[in-house]
Each structure stands twice: as C-alpha cells, then as structure tokens.
A and B are shown apart, each in its own frame.
Chain A
Amino acid sequence: MNEELSRLMDGDLDDAALERVAADLRRPQSLATWACYHAIGDALRGCPHGSPGFVARVSARLAAEPTVLAPRPKPQGERPVARWAVAAAATLAAVGVVGWTALSLTESPGTAVAKAREAAGVTSAQVRPQGLPQDYVLVHQEYSPATARQGVQPYLRAVSAPGSDARP
C-alpha cells in the first residue's frame, strides 16, 4: 500500500488502484504516511520550509474563527461560470481538508519534517524502515527496571521480527 501511495503522489495510478488507495486513506495510519511522504518529498526537493507547529497554529486559528450566521444575499440568477467556480472551489476546499487532516493526524508534523530533512541530508536511498539497534537493546535491557519486573520478557524486543512499527 505504501508503494501505491507513492505512485499516487507521482500521478501514475490506474482507476482501480486509485479507488483502493482512496479507501485506504481513511485510516489514520495511511494518512500519516501520506503526509510524511510529502514532507520527505519537500525536503528532497530542497524546500523544507514548513515550520514545526505550523499546522497546529493554523488549526487553532481556524477553530477560533467566528461562525458567520448572517443570511446570505440571494443569488442574482446563476451563470454556468459561477456554478463551475463554486464546484472548483468546493473541490479545492476538499483537497485542502484532506491535506490538513493528513498533516494534523501525523504524530507531529514537525518531527516528520525534521526526519525528512535529516533523510535529505543523507541520501534518498536511506529513507527506509529500520528496526531498533538490537545490540543496544540487549545492553539496555539489562539495566531496565522492566527486566527486574518481567524477567526475560522485554528481551522479545531484541528478537522480534525485524522492522519498526513506524514506517516512513
């Protein structure tokens, strides 16, 4: 699915795949991946100017906007162009909502951008899921109170199937 997300960004998905990805994007995890991919893309293109907390600030200001309850003026007869404009605006708004939702659902957009920046500083080939450093986990576990409480159980972290939970 992650590969399909990336292909969607590149605009080369067929209709059937598009349907599937759109349905999958309802899951918060997929939305987070989507947002993260964009952050990485921005960083790789050299325009990582999103400041941490930007989304949260915009969301807060949107939430603080007063709701206008005044009656709308009656339209003076709709013209085709106006209808088209309304439809376009609605589409744009929808895209905007999806975009903001995606960003606000990531654990922290600032982290995603920071990670993307770091990734860009290395090479794009290194942007891949990586497991915990198992040798360090082994050393750490000996000193953790979790080992005193649960014995050998926490060592499962060191022998668990490779890969981390959070996939970029």
Chain B
Amino acid sequence: MSYGRSPAPAGARRLGWIAAVALAAVLAPLTAARAQEATAWLDKAARAARELNYVGTIVYQHGARVETSRLTHLYENGAEFEKLVNLDGPAREVIRSQGEVRCYYPDAKIVRVEPRTIRNVFPSLSPQQQQALTQYYEFRVAEPARIAGQEAQAIVFEPRDGLRYGHKFWAHRDTGLLLKARLINEKGEVVEQFAFTDIAIGLRVDREQVKPSWAGTPPDWQLKEGSAGDAVAQNTGWVVTRLPPGFVKVAEGVRTLRGKRDPVAHLVFSDGLVAVSVFVESSAGSAGQVPGTVRQGGMNAFSTKLDEHFVTVLGEAPAATVRQIALSVARR
C-alpha cells in the first residue's frame, strides 16, 4: 500500500481517520479491560492449581473414551508435589515434583523421567500474549454451575477463527481452581474434557500421599530419561514460515531425548491459551514413526519428512493448524 497518491479527497480521508481513531479510542479500553479480566481468571486458576492442597477424582474424556484417575496435590514451603494414578486399566502413575516429572508404566515396565524447567512457576502471560488472547478468542464469563459438589463459575474462550479450539472452564467460586476444563471443536463437539467428580480443597496432605508407589526404579524396569539440555535458549536453525496468527515463539532449544541417537530441535509456540511444539530430528533417529496425523482428545500430532529430517508437531490445536505448522518448517 502506498501513502503517496490516493484517489480519495483529503477531506473524506481525514474524516475516515477521525472515525477510526474515535472508534479505537472507545474500543481500546474495553478490549484492554476484557483482556485483563481474562488474564486475571487464568492467573487465579494457575495460582490455585499450584498453591492449594487438594485431593480428588478426575474423569478424563477423549473421543468415546472415559478414564478415571485419582489426583493428590501438595504445596509445601513453596514446592509442589503431585501424584496422579489411573484407576481404570493399567495402574499407570504420574509423579510431579519440583525437579522432574516421572511417569510409571507398570504394564510395560517403563519409567519415563522428564526434567522440569521453572517455566510454569511463573505462568503469567506477557503483554503480547494478553493482547493475543482477546484478539483471537472472545472471552466471556458464562453461567454459574455446580461441579463435584462445589460452587463454580463457567468462563468461555471462543475462537474467532478456525485455527484453534474453543475452551470452557469451570472455576471454583472461592479459590479459582479449575474443576472442569473442556475443549470444543468448530462443530461445537467436545473433543476433550477433564473434570473432577469429587474434590476436597484446602485439606492436610502428607508427603507420603504424593510419593510414587515404587521406590526408585524397580530393577527389571526400563528407565527412559530426558536431558535438561534445553534450559538455555539457543538458535536451532529451524523456523516456521507460516505460523498461524496469534502464536508467538516462547521457547527454542536443542535437547537429547531418550531413545534418540541425535539431539532433537524443539521450538514452542503459544497463543496464550495453548501451545504447539515443533520437534525436528534427523531421520536416522526417527525409526518407527509414521508420517501423518494422530489425534487424542484435544491434542493433535502431525509428522512429516523434510529432506533428511523428520518433523513432528503436536499441541492442543486442531489437526489443520498443527499440519500447517509442520508443513512450513524450514531452515532459517
């Protein structure tokens, strides 16, 4: 567009400008207030999830499947301890503590250990992300409800384009803790839901209750451990050329993953509500992976070959969004 010559008369142009500026002046405080309100809800939920003690039963629904698990959360001297145990099927377990996340798969005799970064200790959104939130989602406070015997307030993030899922959260009225979270696709169908069916908040929890059911790694189990190598951000040499609007890069690094011979480049993009991860590895390290789309609940993954590399993109976004990102990965 050129600012040099315009067919519109100067007067009309000025009027147009005045109208636009006036409209922006009226709307800007409104959208800013809306963004602040949305961020306040999310911050409150994050703080509650981190700093409260709670024990409850979680029902995880994805597709036609329903799985139940038991969740115990302890906050002690500024440190978080969490234990999640599957109640249906194999008694798999997730233990999340300050330094790491351990996943126990007793059916496969595998322990997966992933180091934690300090990222999620400070979950507040950057001003850029706050702005993106209400630019790409319509936020509203919906109806009050009762979830797991508790008074709750529903809040909704409706996407303004087809590139993201809709989110509906039910926050505990007193603490802001999310009692139920739902992901909704463009047809209005629920693709994934996490919900407490019973919960006790603010009770006493002992360290014993958040310990793994296995001491260390049982001798005949396989230990698969990731490296903490991505604590320092670095340029991986990879870029996404067609990033969906609203997504900004929040992390980039190279790390060594268990079972991968060569280091894997990892880039993370977020629109403030969800994240999409990009993994690029040499084809030699990707044995067994099949190109194409895989979906589980609200998470889509897409893998594709890129010359002598293998690209895997996954995140809480629709298949087309994940695919678009994967197919636009290129050398910087």
A residues neighboring B (CB under 8 Å)? 107-108, 111, 115, 118-119, 121-122, 126, 130-161, 164-166
Contact = CB atoms under 8 A, between A and B. Distances in A.
B103 A138 contact: yes
Contact of B73 (A108, A148, A151, A166): A151
B289 A133 contact: yes
A81 B140 CA distance: 65
A139 B114 contact: yes
Interface string B148-189: 000000000000000000000100000000100100000000
Interface in B69-107: 69, 71, 73, 80, 82-84, 86, 89-90, 92-94, 96, 101, 103, 105
B291 A149 contact: no
Given A135-B112, A159-B93, A145 B315 contact: no
Interface in B116-135: 116-117, 119-120, 123, 125
B213 to A, nearest CB: 13
Nearest to A126: B290
A151 B103 CA distance: 15
A160 B93 CA distance: 10
A118 B266 CA distance: 24
A155 B96 contact: yes
B49 A151 contact: yes
B71 A157 contact: no
A149 B45 contact: yes
Chain A to chain B: the 9 pairs with minimum beta-carbon distance, closest first: A165-B63, A148-B123, A159-B92, A140-B277, A144-B275, A152-B82, A151-B49, A143-B268, A148-B46
Contact of B314 (A107, A115, A119, A140): A140
Interface of B is mostly: strand
Given A122-B290, A147-B120, A149-B46, A160 B257 contact: no
Nearest to B58: A153
A136 B274 contact: no
B314 A143 contact: no
Given A138-B101, A143-B250, A158-B103, A150 B194 contact: yes
12 contacts: A135-B226, A138-B226, A142-B114, A142-B116, A143-B119, A144-B275, A150-B194, A151-B82, A156-B67, A164-B294, A165-B297, A166-B295
A142 B295 contact: no
B321 interface: no
Interface residues on B, range: 35 or more
A115 B314 CA distance: 17
Interface in B284-332: 289-297, 299, 301, 303, 312, 314-316, 319-320
A150 B178 contact: yes
Given A150-B181, A166-B293, A133 B301 contact: yes
Given A126-B290, A135-B112, A135-B224, A149 B277 contact: no
Given A145-B273, A152-B96, A159-B92, 6 more contacts: A132-B301, A133-B294, A144-B270, A149-B169, A155-B101, A156-B84
A149 B42 contact: yes
Nearest to B192: A157
Contact of B62 (A108, A111, A159, A165): A165
B238 interface: no
A1 to B, nearest CB: 13
A35 B289 CA distance: 24
B129 to A, nearest CB: 9
Contacts of A154: 194
B296 A155 contact: no
Nearest to B50: A151
A49 B88 CA distance: 44
B120 A160 contact: no
B178 A149 contact: yes
A160 B90 CA distance: 9
Contacts of A130: 290, 294
A109 to B, nearest CB: 13
Contact of A153 (B63, B116, B194, B291): B194
Contact of A160 (B60, B71, B116): B60
A137 B259 contact: no
Given A142-B114, A144-B316, A156 B226 contact: no
